[in-house]
Amino acid sequence: MNTLKQFRSKKKLRQLDVANYLGVTQTQYHRLESGKSLLNSNQIMELCKLYGCTPNDLLDFKQHYQIIMSEVFDGKK
């Protein structure tokens, strides 16, 4: 499950609820949540306010960093 969906589920919100909060259609939000579109900086900040988290938490930079580092070190073996 991706991070945006996890945060939304914890708050018991529907995609339509978050879409309305961001001022986009449900289809546009679905594309963001499924990774088919990218969040802009305003959307990131608004979602952080809604979910009470940091951009790092919202975008799951820790996981991305771990994946990149494992690829770097696995490639050096």
Position 73 scores a pLDDT of 72
User: Which CATH architecture fits 3-75?
Assistant: Orthogonal Bundle (1.10)
Position 77 scores a pLDDT of 47
Position 67 scores a pLDDT of 61
Q: Name the residue ranges covered by the structural domains of the chain.
A: 3-75
Task: Check if the beta carbon of residue 21 is closer than 8 Å to that of residue 50.
Answer: yes
The pLDDT averaged over each successive group of 10 residues in the chain (77 residues) is 89 98 98 94 97 92 63 64
Position 1 scores a pLDDT of 45
Position 60 scores a pLDDT of 83
Kindly report the pTM of this predicted structure. 0.78
| Cα separations in angstroms, 12 against 8, 9, 29, 45, 51 | 6, 5, 16, 20, 11
